[in-house]
Amino acid sequence: MDLNDIQEAFKLFLRERNWNKFSASQVFTHLVEELGEISRHISIEEGYKIVGIGHEDLSKEELPREFAQAFNLFLQLAIHFDIELETSFLEELERMRVRFPAEKWREALKDK
């Protein structure tokens, strides 16, 4: 299944539930909430937040769900604005190839 197929399947899923009626601001707010959940996992993994010292442990099994939920909401926003993500992504990838030459970036980051 390619990204266009995923987007079309999700568009149908949204229409079947009337979720396509939600405003972009509501969906965006929900997306930020889900990204916050991913952020909590990162903060714990990198030691910024320490489990047992004011923070609860998060189930690593939940992280894939958080990514899926964020992706679904991102898709919902793209559908709201009638954006074909696959086309947009491939066009942007090509721009990035030109803008950020691989050789220069490999050299710049070789000691990091």
Other CB atoms closer than 10 Å to residue 80's CB: what's the count?
15
* Residue 69 domain boundaries: 3-80
Query: Is there a domain that residue 112 lies in?
Result: no
Q: Is 35 helix (H, G, I), strand (E, B) or coil?
A: helix
Confidence of residue 63 (pLDDT cuts 50, 70, 90): very high
Confidence of residue 53 (pLDDT cuts 50, 70, 90): confident
DSSP 66: H
Query: Is there a domain that residue 66 lies in?
Result: yes
Determine the longest span between alpha carbons in the chain, in angstroms: 52
Confidence of residue 3 (pLDDT cuts 50, 70, 90): very high
pLDDT confidence of residue 56: 82
pLDDT confidence of residue 98: 97
Q: Is the pLDDT reported for residue 64 higher than 90? A: yes
Query: Is there a domain that residue 103 lies in?
Result: no
Query: Is there a domain that residue 75 lies in?
Result: yes
Cα dihedral 36→67→84→18 (10° resolution): -80
Total domain count, the chain:
1
pLDDT confidence of residue 12: 98
Please state the length of the chain. Answer: 112
Return the bridge partners of 55, or none.
51
pTM: 0.87
Query: Is there a domain that residue 62 lies in?
Result: yes
